[in-house]
A and B are shown apart, each in its own frame.
Chain A
Amino acid sequence: MREIINHQEGSTTPTARQRSDTPRGTFAGSNVPLVERAYRIRRHALRMGEVQGQGYIAQALGIADVLAVAYFHALRFRPDDVHWEGRDRFLLSIGHYAIALYAALIEAGVLPESEIETYGADGSRLPMSGMAAYTPGMEISGGSLGHGLGIGVGMALGLKRKHSDCLVYTLFSDGELNEGSIWEAVMGAAHWRLDNLIGLVDVNDQQADGPSSAISSREPLADRFRAFGWHVQRVDGNDIGALVAAFDMARTVAEAQPRIIICDTKLAKGVPFLETRERNHFLRVEPDEWQRAIGVLDLAFHAEGGR
C-alpha cells in the first residue's frame, strides 16, 4: 500500500506545473470571443427548449458561461474524434443539464446544429438526461446524482497510471452536495492527491424542492473543501474573465491537490424576464416565450457590441 502523507509533495506523474507550458484548449487560439460562445450556447439551449416546450433552461442559461470557458478556453479535445486519448475529460454529473452541454457540443462542432430539432424526441441522440451511450462527447451517464465526482476520481487515477497529462473536469451542483457519495469522492481525491482532477460546482441555490441553502446548509463551502485538502477557488460563475483566470489557476497551480472551482451562477442568466420569474427547479416557459427569450438574448448581445 502506498503511504501518502505530505500533501505538499509533487506527484511522480506529470504535474500541473509542467502542463502550463503545453498549449491551452483546442479553441484557445480562436478569434471568436468567449462572450460570443456563451451567447450562442444560450441560444442553442433556448432553441432546444422550444422544441420540447420545456427543459432545464434556467440551469442551462446559468451555466453557459462556465461551459463557454471550459470548452472554448480550457479543454483540449478534438471535435471530430471524441474518443481521442489525448483529450481532457469533461464529466457531466448533473444529467439534467444535458441541454446545456448539447449546446456547448453543438457550438464546438461535436454535434451538428441540425440536431437541435430532435432534442428529447424519440430516437434522438439528445435525450433529456445525458447518457454516454446516446451522445458523442457525453463521457458518462449522469442523472443519478452523486456519481460524477467519484467516477472522475477513478479516471484521474487511471490517467496517472498511464502517465497521461490529460485533465478530468467534473461538473456537479450545489444540490448534489447533499449526496454522501460526493464526500466519499472528495476525501478520496484528496487522499490520492489528484492534481489532474478539477471539480466545478454550480451553485445556483436551487434544487427540486426549493433553495439549496434552505434544504441543507451548504456554507462555508470553500472552507469545507479546503478542510478536505482541496485547492479552492470561488468565482462569479457568470463572469467570463473571472472564470478564465480560475480555470488557468486550476490547470497550472503546483499543489498536488485536487482543484475545485465553486461557481456562483444566476438561474436563467441572460434573459431578464426569466431571471426574475419565480424560482423553480423546472422553470415554466410559455410557448410564445421561447422566441421572446431568444430575441432578448440577441438584442443584448448585439447591444454589447457582439457581431
Chain B
Amino acid sequence: MSGSGSEASHGTRRLTTSAMIASIAAPGQRTAPAPFGRALVELARSRPEIVGLTADLAKYTDLHVFAQAFPDRFYQMGMSEQLLMMAAAGLAREGALPFVTTYAVFASRRAYDFISMAIAEEGLNVKIVCALPGLTSGYGPSHQATEDIAILRGMPQLTIIDPCDAHEIAAAVPAVAAHPGPVYMRLLRGNVPHVLDGYDYRFEIGKATSLRNGKDVLVIATGLATMRALEAAEALDADGIGVEVLHIATIKPLDEAAILAAAAKDRRLVVVAENHTVIGGLGEAVAGLLLREGITPRFRQIALPDAFLDAGALPTLHERYGLSVSSMAQRIKKWL
C-alpha cells in the first residue's frame, strides 16, 4: 500500500499514485492494522446498542472488521450517503448507537444537510467516522477532503475530532461512544502509525495536551500534522530550536484555556499545523480565539493551500503542500 512511496524515496524512480487506501506511515514506522475497526469490535462486545452503517466503503474505512464480527448489527446502505445519514438518525431515534462510515469528502460535501438536519439539529447520538481526511489520498480533489472541517465547523452541536495515530483512534472510539450527541471523527485507516504511545498522553474529548516543551516555538497541531510536527520538532531540536507541540485532538469544542495559556507564554512564535486547507480549520479557529482574547503572538499556519490539489503519490504531495516533516521544519526555521 505504501510501497510505492517508501521504495522510491531513496531512488530516482518517479513515485506513483498508490492505492486509494495509501498508508501515511513512513518507512520503518511502527503501525497497527485497522485500529478503528478493532476498537469498535472490542467496545461493541459490551455495548449491544452499537451498530455500524456504511455507504459501500466498509472495507476502506475498517468497518469490515465490525461487519465480520457482528453481521446482524451491520447495515450496508449502498452508495447512498444521504440515506446513510437519515437511516443512522432513525436508528439512533430507536435507541441504537450508530457508527457511520464513509469518506470525508462524501460526508461533508454530499450529505451535509442530512448530518445537519436529521442528526445534529435533533442532537442524535450518531458517530460519523470518515476516512481520507485532508490530503491522505493521491486520487485528486474527488477524494481529498481538504475542507471537511471548514464545512462542518459551522454546524451547531457537532463535536469534531481529528486523531493523530493508531493509539489515539483506539482511545477515541470508547470516548466517542460515551459522549452524548453527534460526533464527526476523521479517520486514518489501514496500517496506521503508532506515535503517541511514546508520550505521556491520555485522550479526552475537548482536551488539548502538550506533548513536548520548547522555548522558541509553539506548534499547535491536530491529526496527522501532530505526528509530523513531533518529528519536525526533534529535527529542530538538533539545531538548538526548542519547539513545544500542543496537540488538539478535538477541534470543536476547542480547549480554549489550554491554547490561550500556551500562546501567552514566553512570546514564542505560534504555528498552527493541520492536514486541512488554510481556510476554516484549526488555524483560523485558533487565530480567532487569540484575537478575541487580545493575545497576539507572531502567528503562522502550516496548512494546505486554498486550491484543488494535485493527484500523485502521497509523499510527493505532502512535500509539495508542506505536510512533510522536512518542509515543516524548514518553514518553521525560516519564520524564526
Task: Mark A residues whose CB is within 8 Å of B.
Answer: 1-2, 132-133, 139-141, 143-144, 146-147, 149-159, 161-162, 180-181, 184-185, 187-188, 191
The answer to whether B155 has its CB under 8 Å from any CB of chain A is no
Known: A154-B88, A155-B90, A161-B96. A184 touches B83 (CB 8 A): yes
Do residues A147 and B83 form an inter-chain contact, with CB atoms below 8 A?
Answer: no
Give the residues in chain A near B310, CB-CB below 8 Å: none
Q: Report the bound CA distance from A156 to B117 in whole Å.
A: 19
Contact of B114 among A1, A150, A159, A161 (CB under 8 A): A150
Do residues A162 and B118 form an inter-chain contact, with CB atoms below 8 A?
Answer: no
Contact of A157 among B71, B80, B91, B121 (CB under 8 A): B91
Do residues A150 and B87 form an inter-chain contact, with CB atoms below 8 A?
Answer: yes
Give the residues in chain A near B51, CB-CB below 8 Å: 161
Residue of A nearest to B93 (CB): A155
Do residues B83 and A185 form an inter-chain contact, with CB atoms below 8 A?
Answer: yes
Known: A2-B72, A150-B114, A188-B77. A161 touches B83 (CB 8 A): no
Give the residues in chain A near B74, CB-CB below 8 Å: 1
Contact of B122 among A141, A146, A155, A188 (CB under 8 A): A141
Residue of A nearest to B53 (CB): A154
Contact of A147 among B72, B93, B118 (CB under 8 A): B118
The answer to whether B82 has its CB under 8 Å from any CB of chain A is yes
The answer to whether B113 has its CB under 8 Å from any CB of chain A is yes
CB distance from A175 to the nearest CB of B (A): 17
In the assembled complex, 28 residue pairs joining A and B whose CB atoms fall closer than 8 Å, in A order, are A1-B74, A139-B93, A144-B117, A147-B86, A149-B86, A150-B83, A150-B85, A150-B89, A151-B86, A151-B90, A153-B87, A153-B90, A154-B87, A154-B88, A154-B93, A154-B94, A155-B94, A156-B90, A157-B75, A157-B94, A158-B92, A159-B94, A161-B94, A162-B95, A184-B78, A185-B83, A188-B80, A188-B87
Contact of B96 among A143, A158, A184 (CB under 8 A): A158
Give the residues in chain A near B89, CB-CB below 8 Å: 150-151, 154
Interface residues of chain A: helix, strand, loop or mixed (majority): helix
Give the residues in chain A near B67, CB-CB below 8 Å: 1
Contact of B78 among A132, A180, A187 (CB under 8 A): A187
Residue of B nearest to A139 (CB): B93
Give the residues in chain B near A161, CB-CB below 8 Å: 51, 91, 94, 96
Contact of B91 among A147, A149, A154, A181 (CB under 8 A): A154
CB distance from A1 to the nearest CB of B (A): 6
Q: Report the bound CA distance from A157 to B117 in whole Å.
A: 20
Q: Report the bound CA distance from A157 to B83 in whole Å.
A: 13
Give the residues in chain A near B4, CB-CB below 8 Å: none
Do residues A158 and B75 form an inter-chain contact, with CB atoms below 8 A?
Answer: no
Task: Mark B residues whose CB is within 8 Å of A.
Answer: 51, 67, 71-72, 74-78, 80, 82-83, 85-96, 113-114, 117-118, 121-122
Known: A1-B67, A141-B121, A157-B87. A151 touches B93 (CB 8 A): yes
Most B CB contacts (10 A, CB to CB) among A154, A184, A185 go to: A154
Do residues A147 and B122 form an inter-chain contact, with CB atoms below 8 A?
Answer: no
Give the residues in chain B near A147, CB-CB below 8 Å: 86, 114, 117-118
Q: Report the bound CA distance from A143 to B121 in whole Å.
A: 12
Q: Report the bound CA distance from A17 to B83 in whole Å.
A: 28
Do residues B78 and A157 form an inter-chain contact, with CB atoms below 8 A?
Answer: no
Q: Report the bound CA distance from A151 to B89 in whole Å.
A: 6
CB distance from B194 to the nearest CB of A (A): 30
Do residues B121 and A152 form an inter-chain contact, with CB atoms below 8 A?
Answer: no
Residue of A nearest to B55 (CB): A184
Give the residues in chain A near B90, CB-CB below 8 Å: 150-158
Give the residues in chain B near A188, CB-CB below 8 Å: 77-78, 80, 83, 87
CB distance from A176 to the nearest CB of B (A): 13
CB distance from A105 to the nearest CB of B (A): 19
Give the residues in chain A near B88, CB-CB below 8 Å: 154
Give the residues in chain B near A159, CB-CB below 8 Å: 94
Residue of A nearest to B73 (CB): A161
Give the residues in chain A near B78, CB-CB below 8 Å: 184, 187-188, 191
Residue of A nearest to B85 (CB): A150
Do residues A158 and B71 form an inter-chain contact, with CB atoms below 8 A?
Answer: no
Known: A150-B83, A184-B80. A158 touches B91 (CB 8 A): yes
Give the residues in chain B near A151, CB-CB below 8 Å: 86-87, 89-90, 93, 118
Give the residues in chain A near B91, CB-CB below 8 Å: 154-155, 157-158, 161
Do residues A150 and B95 form an inter-chain contact, with CB atoms below 8 A?
Answer: no
